[in-house]
Amino acid sequence: MTYTAPVDDMRFVLEHLVGYDRLAALPGYEDVSDELVGAVLDEAAKFAGGVLAPLNVNGDRQGSKLENGVVRTPDGWRDAYKQFVAGGWNAVPFPVEFGGQGLPWTVQATLAEMWQAASLSFGLCPMLSQGAVEALLVHGSDEQKRIYLPKLIEGTWTGTMNLTEPQAGSDLGAVRTKAERNGDGTYRLYGQKIFITYGEHDLAENIIHMVLARTPDAPAGVKGISLFIAPKFLVQSDGSIGARNDLRCVSLEHKMGIHASPTAVMAYGDNDGALAYLVGEEGRGLEYMFTMMNNARLSVGLQGVAIAERAYQQARAYALQRVQGKGLNGKNAGPVAIIEHPDVRRMLVTMRAMTEASRALAIRAFAAFDGAHTTHDAACQAEVDFLTPIVKAWSTDIGVEVASLGVQVHGGMGFIEETGAAQHYRDARILPIYEGTNGIQANDLAFRKIVRDDGRAFAAWLASARNDVAALGALPGDDMSAIRDRVGEGLDLAERATAWMIATGKTDVWAASAGAVHYLRAIGLVAGGVEMARAAAAAARGLAQGSNAFLQRKLLTSRFFAEQLVPQAQSLYGPMSSAHTTLRAFETDAV
């Protein structure tokens, strides 16, 4: 149950699919190079594999516990977090002026995958802090930045996102938490929030809650919602920690997985109200929240990649050592390790192929994010907007599927908790749900990213994908032609499906929405295939220089992905376009 960060694959993606020249051309990232990044990744891999990964199993068993208002994380968690902060890992993608290390999000993405693979439960804590930092960087006042950012970036304080309420899950317009004006520019919050990740814990000196609430005279719905900072401990003007604020963790949820990550029910204003500070302007809370949410959605997509990688490594190790049954290839008549059985091999390569494709797509999205972030380039922004729901939904579905395959590779042992495969399967299941369910992602893709945009971002992506696939024509071999054919057919399908979605989304919202999940999956499979095709081209170029086991494996894996996974997209057009016919015909009580 060890974890070895796939540094070779990460470096391959950064060098060949993103390109250091492209990153280094962005303002502020001039120093980025393979050498620098390689050193960072190696250090991170040591920390993820050596410090975090060993905590994951006990984290699951022990869980975080609420006792007398205090949440205790599992044994070893506090020390690991201290090391995480001391290593500067919390500060990697943030501006130097607030103590950050100023590295691109594209590089941060590879590190984040490592933390999440080592332990999803641990990785959630810095992931949430990151959201708070982003919101303050973009929307906070200078004073708020000065007070909160250095500590949040350093990691001695952590951040949370407080959106959900019992009656307001996916529909944030229904938020009821009240924000009353104190008359001095500050506010007092009253209400209950649920599903607050790391809403209370013992890892940091202070917790900075970012809270959606409604001002008294605000209009109904989303326009009445504002974003507030509510620190657990009030911060004095010199930055030191003051009085305890009127907010508390009422209970922790009893979840199927990520047991070590405390999911809190938070009560604001049980007594005199929780002192809070408005971020930006009243009524724009949801808009600000979406600033962090887009980044957070990519990060959740990375969690899907991460749990897939971890489950793959675990299953592969088991399949290498478990001897059972005879080999089928003649030369091994005696019992063989199960990795020699064709179907076990199929499952393992499926796991790895899905993981590598989703990693490449997620990092591509982060590269577009870096472009948009630093240069406000409209094409980069359109690309990251288009890719975000795909990365979130497709990668997290992959996380669940790969974790399930991981259980299957183990046979009966996969169902026994001590083996560890079961934990990944349980942990992964939250990923298609939180940060906007995958159904919501599909609607986001269909309506906001495709229909509203008239398919322009898709068309730009498609043109570049067509080029990439056409370029394979110059390369010899069966592998290359198989990849070109299957991914090319996938692109045809994606184009046809998108035309249907644009036409339907304009005339029949219900029908478009009923087909949206199929549509997203089809685009995800094809987009993953495109990244693997680009990887195959890079691998082939490398192999022309001499033999290389990593590149040989990458080439075969790309072909495997093209032949085994991309064709699934073909069977989604019919279901996508016909779902509404029957679904709409059912009476509600016949569903």
- The CA distance from 315 to 133, in Å, is 36
- Can you tell me which of 68, 240, 467, 588 binds a copy of itself, judged by CB under 8 A? 588
Non-local CB neighbours of 56 within 8 Å, separated by 6+ positions: 1, 118, 119, 121, 122, 260, 423
Residue 341 engages a copy of itself in binding (rule: CB under 8 A): yes
- The CA distance from 195 to 82, in Å, is 25
Backbone angles phi, psi at 335, to 5 degrees: -60, 145
Backbone angles phi, psi at 451, to 5 degrees: -65, -50
Quick one: how far is CA 319 from the chain centroid?
28
CB 387 within 8 A of CB 297: no
Handedness of CA 23, 29, 30, 33 (dihedral sign): negative
Judged by CB under 8 A, the chain residues 290 through 309 that form the site for a copy of itself are none
CA angle 366, 107, 227 (to 5 degrees): 55
Residue 477 engages a copy of itself in binding (rule: CB under 8 A): no
Place of tokens 């641990």: 122
Judged by CB under 8 A, the chain residues 1 through 60 that form the site for a copy of itself are none
**Residues forming beta bridges with residue 533, ordered by sequence position:** none
Q: Clarify whether 113 is annotated catalytic.
A: no
Q: Look at residues 535, 224, 514 and name the one whose alpha carbon lies nearest to residue 358.
A: 535
For the CB of residue 366, give the shortest distance to a copy of itself in the complex, in Å: 26
Judged by CB under 8 A, the chain residues 160 through 189 that form the site for a copy of itself are 164, 167, 169-171, 174
For the CB of residue 1, give the shortest distance to a copy of itself in the complex, in Å: 15
Residue 412 engages a copy of itself in binding (rule: CB under 8 A): yes
Q: Between 130 and 443, whose beta carbon lies closer to a copy of itself? A: 443
- Can you tell me which of 32, 514, 538, 540 binds a copy of itself, judged by CB under 8 A? 514
Return the structure tokens found at 561: 């992905």
Judged by CB under 8 A, the chain residues 529 through 568 that form the site for a copy of itself are 549, 552-553, 556-557, 559-560, 563-564, 567-568
For the CB of residue 229, give the shortest distance to a copy of itself in the complex, in Å: 24
Binding region for a copy of itself (CB under 8 A) out of 30-38, 113-121, 243-251, 344-352: 344-352
Judged by CB under 8 A, the chain residues 117 through 136 that form the site for a copy of itself are none
CB 434 within 8 A of CB 194: no
Judged by CB under 8 A, the chain residues 312 through 331 that form the site for a copy of itself are 316, 319-320, 323-326, 328-329
- Can you tell me which of 517, 523, 532, 540 binds a copy of itself, judged by CB under 8 A? 517
Choosing from 113, 200, 309, 435, the catalytic residue is 435
For the CB of residue 315, give the shortest distance to a copy of itself in the complex, in Å: 10
Place of tokens 């995800």: 524
- Can you tell me which of 228, 386, 434, 458 binds a copy of itself, judged by CB under 8 A? 434
Site string for a copy of itself, 345-364 (x = CB under 8 A): xxxxx--x------------
Handedness of CA 74, 75, 80, 81 (dihedral sign): positive
Binding region for a copy of itself (CB under 8 A) out of 103-111, 146-154, 468-476, 580-588: 580-588
- The CA distance from 415 to 406, in Å, is 10
Give the residue numbers annotated as catalytic, written as ranges.
435
